[in-house]
Amino acid sequence: MQGSQALQLRDIHLPDSVSWWPPAPGYWLILILILLMIVSVWLFRRWYRQQKLKRVIQNELRRIEQDFQQSNDALRLSRELSVLLRRVSLACFPNSGCESLVGEHWLSFLDQQLPDSGEFVAGVGQVLVTAPYSRQIDIDAQGLLVLCQRWVGQAYKMRQSGSVT
C-alpha cells in the first residue's frame, strides 16, 4: 500500500459507562413491593388499634356478666355497667360533653345513641341512675345486660363511622 492510500483509523475507544437511570424493571418491581408492604403494615396496625377498644369492651362486659352469674348481686351489676357505659362514652364520644351528664340527662344521652329507643329513660336502663343510692334493688338483670351490650355495640359503630351526636 502506498502512503497516500493508507486508511486513517481512529484509536480504540471504550463504550459509554452504564447509566444508573433508568433502573432495570426488576428494581421498579422491588420498589413497588416495598411500598405495598409499608402501606399494608400501616393499615393493619391502624385496624388492630381500632379493634383493640372493641376487644377490651367486650371482655369487660363478659367479666361483668360472669361476676353477676356467680354473685347474683344486682346492685353491683348496675354499678359496674354504669361505670363501663361512662368509660365507653368517654372513649367513643370524647367531645360530646357526656362526662358532666348526670341523672336524666345521662340517660337521655344514652338513649340518643340507640335509634328508636327510650329504654334508658323509661325502661330497664333507668336503674343506672337509681342504683347508686339504693341498698338493694330488684331489676331485670338480663334485660339490662342486653340493653348495655346493644348500646356499646352501637356506640362503637358510631365511633367507627365518625358520626357523633
Report the pLDDT value the prediction gives residue 5, as an integer from 0 to 100: 66
Split into its structural domains, the chain has a count of: 1
Average pLDDT of the chain? 87
Q: Is residue 54 part of a domain?
A: yes
Region label for 10, one of left (φ > 0), alpha (ψ between -120 and 50) or beta (otherwise) = beta
Q: Is residue 81 part of a domain?
A: yes
Q: Is residue 107 part of a domain?
A: yes
- Helices assigned H by DSSP within 93-162: 103-113, 127-130, 141-161
Q: Is residue 8 part of a domain?
A: no
- The cell for 99 is 362526662
Per-residue buried b or exposed e for 113-131, using 16+ beta carbons within 10 Å of the residue's own CB: bbeebebbbebbbbbbbeb
Q: Is residue 100 part of a domain?
A: yes
What average pLDDT score do residues 141-150 get? 92
What average pLDDT score do residues 62-72 get? 94
User: Where in the sequence is the domain holding 78, given as residue range(s)?
Assistant: 25-161
Report how far residue 125's alpha carbon sits from residue 107's, in angstroms, rounded to the nearest whole number: 8
Q: Is residue 13 part of a domain?
A: no
The residue type at 80: E
Q: Over 90: is that where the pLDDT of 15 sits?
A: no
Question: What is the number of alpha carbons within 13 Å of residue 124 lying toward its C-beta?
Answer: 16
Report the pLDDT value the prediction gives residue 132, as an integer from 0 to 100: 74
What average pLDDT score do residues 63-74 get? 93
Angle between helices 25-71 and 74-92 (to 10 degrees): 160
Report pLDDT digits (tens) over 81-138. 999 999 999 988 888 888 889 999 999 999 998 877 788 988 899 899 888 777 777 8
Report how far residue 125's alpha carbon sits from residue 109's, in angstroms, rounded to the nearest whole number: 12
Q: Is residue 7 part of a domain?
A: no
- Burial class from Cβ neighbours inside 10 Å (0-12, 13-18, 19+) for residue 150 reads middle
- Per-residue confidence at 27, pLDDT binned at 50, 70, 90? very high
- Helices assigned H by DSSP within 17-122: 25-71, 74-92, 103-113
Q: Is residue 43 part of a domain?
A: yes
- Per-residue confidence at 147, pLDDT binned at 50, 70, 90? very high
- Per-residue confidence at 4, pLDDT binned at 50, 70, 90? low
- The cell for 158 is 358510631
Quote the Cα angle for 114-143-65, to 5°. 105
